[in-house]
Amino acid sequence: MKQTSFPLNYFQSMLTPKAAFYGRNQLNWFQIVIVFLFLNGLLMIPVSLSFANSKQFQLEEMMPNALQLIDNETMKSMEGVDFKNGEMQSTSKLLIEKESGVVGVNQPEKALKKEMNVVAFEKNQFILKDQSGYEFNVAYTKNFDKTASTTAKQLVNELKRMWYQQNRAFVSFTMMLMTGSILVVSNILLIGGAAIFVWLTKRNAYSSIASYRESVNFILNASGWGMLLGLMVGIVHFDLTIMLSLSSLGMVIMLTAAFVITKFKDKKCEGVS
């Protein structure tokens, strides 16, 4: 096969199953790491777009107990509590005690300190505290209007919206870091495991693959189309499980096709594309 410079040699090697096998000697370990990170970077694009377009976060997963304090009874008790331009207009104090926690209006923080689950409305901010260990002080946004929230669910959604608006950068960074870690670990296991399996075929002289580096290079070549497929589907509909499944399926199809065509044995590869 005609040799080209990196990274063009990788893109040529990923085009067809035959090219993927015959191009297994073109990358050194440093280049293999670069290609691996590049492929994972492709799958991170839908992740970034998803969090960039998200307007709300499932806060219930972090604080399942505190948000449950906002129910129909709470809404009825807070009928006279109004907000305008990011400030609470009501000056009266209110304490709604429930089995799992309390909802307070204009209550001093000391009075709520011992409670494990708290939703506290203050003049310029509200406080969320959950027995899971999380506690947040969130400033009201200028457009917060409680009168528009006629149900408990609507009020909870407004609290979640304001929380997310204030913590969006932190949430996006944390979730992208976690998702990126999942992608990297999953692909290390997938590509590394598949490479070991292919490399072991040399023991019975079944294939021409002579080293583990060649095997890893071959698997990376075969992974290109699957990663691109995962990228395109992820942009349309973000689902990490589907993206990983499609990238794995694409790799398996390329490996199978490469075996059918080449039998994992070297031949003259002039004209291979």
- Supply the DSSP string of 214-253, one letter for each residue: HHHHHHHHHHHHHHHHHHHHHHHS--HHHHHHHHHHHHHH
Tokens 């296991």 -> residue = 189
Q: What is the mean pLDDT of residues 18-36?
A: 93
Does residue 117 contact residue 69 with C-beta atoms inside 8 Å? yes
DSSP 102: E
Residue 37 scores a pLDDT above 90: yes
Tokens at residue 89, please? 């207009």
Helix 152-199 to helix 212-236 angle (10° resolution) is 160
Q: What's residue 166's pLDDT?
A: 87
> What's the pLDDT score for residue 201?
82
CA distance 10 to 4: 9
Q: How far apart are CA 234 and CA 144, in angstroms?
A: 33
Residue 202 is predicted with a pLDDT of 77
Residue 263 is classified by DSSP as T
Of the listed ranges 91-95, 204-208, 231-235, the one predicted with least confidence: 204-208
Per-residue pLDDT at 41 exceeds 90: yes
**How far, in Å, CA of 19 to CA of 5, rounded?**
15
Using an 8 Å Cβ cutoff, are 182 and 205 in contact?
no
Q: Which residue has the higher pLDDT, 57 or 237?
A: 237
Q: What is the pLDDT of residue 205?
A: 66
273: confidence class by pLDDT, cuts 50, 70, 90: very low
Spatial separation of the C-alpha atoms in residues 127 and 120, rounded to whole Å = 5
* Residue 151, CB-side half-sphere exposure with 13 Å CA sphere: 3
* CB contact set of 120 (below 8 Å; sequence gap of 6+): 103, 104, 105, 107, 109, 112, 126, 127, 129
Q: Model confidence over 102-128: pLDDT tens digits?
A: 999 999 877 788 899 999 999 999 999
Tallying the residues shown for the chain, one arrives at: 273
CA angle 81, 83, 89 (to 5 degrees): 70
Rounded percentage of the chain residues whose pLDDT exceeds 90: 53
Q: Roughly what angle, to the nearest 10 degrees, separates helices 240-262 and 152-199? A: 20
